[in-house]
């Protein structure tokens, strides 16, 4: 896809003048005649243009928090809001969140964005990106029953073994394209059925996190195909629920939302009560939206085969678009999905603790510094990245395995835990920070190598998430992947995708591809430094040897921890 790489001068001038004139009118300032007739003409043109501007809201319901962005038809963010969410870890390997906390955070984020933009009543549609694989049980009152078992939760591994005995490998791959993982709906539902039977019996519907937020907004129950792909209950090639798998596993089909939509389709309309509280217009369409990875792919323009994305958020993901479903025949925990683009499929390799690893370093080693810098209005991550920049590529042999809560692609081991290997007296905080950034990127290179083994050409990678905001982390990615790394004008790819879907739902764009071509533009290109590529190739070999050497020890340690918990 060829993105626009620049905006015309007249458009920039008009936009700037429009903003000035809009503020002037609202604050009672009068136009000064001596500024000239040409300035007056430009302002008049800009004012007409801003009055006709279309705005759309994208909501990114992530694990760490909910973000809402108001984006205009040209891809300019008019306002953005964010509210954090906490995770709950009642036992080792168990990770939950309270859906009502999501709803509260969503309202706060939206109201922040509306207040900053001043155009709440002009928003024409809402779209979503949302954390995937979370299992929300909904009761007859439309409210969540207990906490949601989110994608990080590892408790249902025994149920995965049950499913593998019930569903044969060939049937599994031909229907879902993937092997069953303990983060998917199916094993979680079996666990809930066995361990929380009363909650299971009270359930009338199961929803993904973003679908629960949409239910609260519209009163309508629906799911969509990209999220549903990681339920292990979807026929991915046919883009519909698999009655065969649900029946064999004893999961009642009535629990699966009857309305299964494409991401750009209208799922409902904004309730009056919600619209009044948020400062929006009642009745605007709400798009079905997409799971965070397919949606993030849309937000980075990964809507055709051959384009690869690398997103470093709480988790890390390598994502690609395909004309037909990807099939994980080598048991490497590559997830196969329907794309958020109709008639396209996609795949992802998942590292569970990418940005989460860097956050752990922040909260553990820089807790006091974090508070000190926050008081000064400074970002602790900038400080940590500055330290990392002082260390040499390869961190002088300090290699980090980012397995804080197990990992997925390619090891698929819930027992794996994080390790610093090669620590010496010479290593300080600089090397620790850099080695975490490098170890996270090594874990994502694992999926890049799977892509290359599948015959895909990976010369260009589009970066998203927090890892795209750091110039150092972009360079580390370029060097470790040995590929140029590209960022677009949309750092908030999830919100951008939601806004694009909203614009399609509202009839502004004919399809998602047109929305991407209009809104997305190349911002920066980072080329690999070949000297660093050679260094990282050597350390990557060390990285790859560490997990096999530790696998048995991980399993034994998990047994000991469980015994003494």
* CA 456 – CA 5 distance, rounded (Å): 26
* CA 159 – CA 111 distance, rounded (Å): 41
* CA 7 – CA 16 distance, rounded (Å): 13
Collapsed DSSP state (helix, strand, coil) of residue 252: coil
Token look-up 């795949």 returns: 347
**Who's near 194: CB < 8 A, 6+ residues apart?**
159
469 close to 426: Cβ distance less than 8 angstroms: no
Token look-up 């503020």 returns: 23
Mapping DSSP onto H, E and C, the string for 524-563 reads EEECCCHHHHHHHHHHHHHHHHHHHHHHHHHHHHHHHHHH
Structure tokens at 281: 């217009």
From start to end of 40-106, where are the E strands?
55-61, 65-72, 77-84, 96-97
* CA 287 – CA 182 distance, rounded (Å): 29
| φ, ψ for residue 529, nearest 5 deg | -95, 115
* CA 331 – CA 183 distance, rounded (Å): 16
Structure tokens at 233: 């209950």
Through-space distance between the first and last CA atoms of the chain, rounded to whole angstroms: 52
| DSSP bridge partners of 419 | 401
Q: Provide the total of helices (H) and of strands (E) in the chain, helices listed first.
A: 21, 24
Q: In degrees, to the nearest 5, what angle opens at C-alpha 446 toward C-alphas 381 and 237?
A: 110
* CA 516 – CA 298 distance, rounded (Å): 7
Length of the chain: 565
**Who's near 380: CB < 8 A, 6+ residues apart?**
362, 366, 369, 370, 373, 374
* CA 319 – CA 465 distance, rounded (Å): 13
Q: Read out DSSP for 321-384?
A: EESS----TT-S--EEEE-SSTT-EEEEEEESSSHHHHHHHHHHHSHHHHHHHHHTT--HHHHH
Residue 211 among the catalytic residues = no
Given 211, 235, 292, 446, which residue is catalytic?
Answer: 292
Instruction: List active site positions.
Output: 292
């Amino acid at each position: 896809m060829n993105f626009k790489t620049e905006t015309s001068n007249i458009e920039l001038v008009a936009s700037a003048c429009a903003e000035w004139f809009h503020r002037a009118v609202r604050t009672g300032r009068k136009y000064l005649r001596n500024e000239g007739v040409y300035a007056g003409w430009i302002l008049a043109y800009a004012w007409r243009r801003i009055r006709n501007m279309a705005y759309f809201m994208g909501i990114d319901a992530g694990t760490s928090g909910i973000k809402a962005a108001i984006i205009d038809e040209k891809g300019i963010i008019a306002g953005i809001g964010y509210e954090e969410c906490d995770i709950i870890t009642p036992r080792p390997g168990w990770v939950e969140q309270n859906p009502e906390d999501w709803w509260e955070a969503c309202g706060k984020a939206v109201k922040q964005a509306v207040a900053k933009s001043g155009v709440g009543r002009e928003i024409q549609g809402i779209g979503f990106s949302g954390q995937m694989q979370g299992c929300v049980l909904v009761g007859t009152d439309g409210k969540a029953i207990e906490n949601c078992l989110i994608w990080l939760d590892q408790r249902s591994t025994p149920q995965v073994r049950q499913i593998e005995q019930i569903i044969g490998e060939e049937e599994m791959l031909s229907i879902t394209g993937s092997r069953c993982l303990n983060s998917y709906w199916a094993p979680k539902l079996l666990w809930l059925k066995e361990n929380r039977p009363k909650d299971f019996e009270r359930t009338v519907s199961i929803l993904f996190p973003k679908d629960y937020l949409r239910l609260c907004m519209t009163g309508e129950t629906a799911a969509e195909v990209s999220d549903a792909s990681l339920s292990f209950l979807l026929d991915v090639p046919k883009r519909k629920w698999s009655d065969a798998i649900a029946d064999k596993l004893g999961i009642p089909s009535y629990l699966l939302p009857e309305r299964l939509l494409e991401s750009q389709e209208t799922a409902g309309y904004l309730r009056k009560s919600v619209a009044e509280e948020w400062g929006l217009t009642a009745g605007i369409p709400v798009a079905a939206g997409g799971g965070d990875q397919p949606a993030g792919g849309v937000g980075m323009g990964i809507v055709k085969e051959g384009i690869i994305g690398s997103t470093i958020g709480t988790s890390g993901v390598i994502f690609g678009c395909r004309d037909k479903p990807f099939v994980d025949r080598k048991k490497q925990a590559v997830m196969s999905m329907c794309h958020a683009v109709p008639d396209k499929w996609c795949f992802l390799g998942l590292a569970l603790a990418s940005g989460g690893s860097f956050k752990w370093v922040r909260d553990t080693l820089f807790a006091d510094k974090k508070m000190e810098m926050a008081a000064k209005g400074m970002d602790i991550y900038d400080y940590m990245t500055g330290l990392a920049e002082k260390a040499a590529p390869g961190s002088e042999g300090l290699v980090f395995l980012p397995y804080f809560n197990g990992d997925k692609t390619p090891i698929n081991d819930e027992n794996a835990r994080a390790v610093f290997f090669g620590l010496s007296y010479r290593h300080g905080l600089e090397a620790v920070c850099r080695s975490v950034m490098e170890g996270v990127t090594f874990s994502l290179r694992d999926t890049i190598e799977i892509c290359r083994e599948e015959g895909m050409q990976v010369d260009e990678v589009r970066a998203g998430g927090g890892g795209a905001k750091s110039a150092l982390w972009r360079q580390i990615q370029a060097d470790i992947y040995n590929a140029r790394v590209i960022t677009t004008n949309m750092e908030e790819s999830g919100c951008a995708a939601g806004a694009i879907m909203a614009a399609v739902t509202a009839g502004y764009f004919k399809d998602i591809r047109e929305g991407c071509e209009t809104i997305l533009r190349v911002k920066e290109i980072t080329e690999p430094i070949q000297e660093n590529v050679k260094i990282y190739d050597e350390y990557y070999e060390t990285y790859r040897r560490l997990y096999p050497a530790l696998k048995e020890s991980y399993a034994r340690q998990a047994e000991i921890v469980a015994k003494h918990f």
